Amino acid sequence: MKTSQKSAFTLIEMIGVLAIIGILAAVVAPRVIESIRDAKVTSAIGSVNSAKSAALSYYQRYDRFPEDGTLPSIIDYRADPTGATTVSGADADFGDLLVLQEQLLEAERTPIGEDINGKDWAVGCATLAGGGNLDAGGGTATAYGTAPFVFKSAGRASRIVYFMMPNLTTQEAAALATKVNGPFPNTVQGDLNVIGESIANGGAPLTNIDGANAWFTDNGDSTYDAFLYVAHQ
């Protein structure tokens, strides 16, 4: 008479399988996280390109870029179809105008960064001597607060449109710098060194590249504000 035997994993086999799963997870998880971050940065650059298309469309229509703080009253028909809701020109930036009047730009927010410490996403427009949040163009040192930087594509512009992304993590800032300002030489290794190629601190840009279309200011808490070139006149 034959007796049936039930096969099963032994304890040692189970431990071996779990160990293999743990090793695979340790190897794969960082790559998955990096891929997700890379996709977010790519999407953020897509937002900048959308802002560029909207700005150029506006310029073709009106032959100018209005400076922040000088905008006319903007009626937000999406918030109130009757037009009763008005965004004050004094408080609005150029991005508000593009969002409300140009269908090519749906929002100023991007998948990277965070609106903390009183900073928010913005698509702004300022002149070289405008005294706004950003002075840019003209081929000379430009300023946001005490941090000067020059947009590579601005040439000798008298007015420039820029995209601000606040409070990026070190990894987000490094990925953005690599995609916009790279490739960097092999001597530049590590996230902080990549950011350092296009960071502005202490009254002078610390950079080994001839200008940049993405500049960063160090918030001192391992986060960075990014300023990206959009368009100029």
pLDDT, one tens digit per residue, over 6-41 is 566 677 777 877 877 777 667 766 666 777 888 899
On whether residue 36 sits in a domain, the answer given is yes
On whether residue 124 sits in a domain, the answer given is yes
On whether residue 162 sits in a domain, the answer given is yes
pLDDT for 133: 43
Residue range 52-78, pLDDT digits in tens: 999 999 899 888 888 877 776 766 655
Residue 80 CA: distances (Å) to CA of 3, 83, 105: 80, 6, 19
On whether residue 38 sits in a domain, the answer given is yes
What DSSP state is assigned to residue 153? G
pLDDT for 168: 93
- pLDDT of 195 strictly over 70: yes
On whether residue 212 sits in a domain, the answer given is yes
- pLDDT of 5 strictly over 70: no
Domain total for the chain?
A: 1
pLDDT for 230: 92
Q: Are strands 204-206 and 199-201 parallel, antiparallel or unpaired?
A: antiparallel
pLDDT for 7: 62
Question: Which residue segment(s) compose the domain that 209 sits in?
Answer: 11-62+108-232
Residue range 135-188, pLDDT digits in tens: 433 333 444 544 456 677 876 677 888 898 989 999 999 999 999 988 888 888
Residue range 64-122, pLDDT digits in tens: 888 877 776 766 655 666 656 666 666 678 888 888 776 678 888 899 988 887 777 88
Nearest 10 degrees: Cα torsion 24, 27, 28, 29? 110
What DSSP state is assigned to residue 151? B
In whole angstroms, what is the distance from residue 177 CA to residue 119 CA?
Answer: 20
pLDDT for 9: 65
On whether residue 222 sits in a domain, the answer given is yes
On whether residue 78 sits in a domain, the answer given is no
- Of 60 and 202, which is predicted with more confidence? 60
On whether residue 178 sits in a domain, the answer given is yes
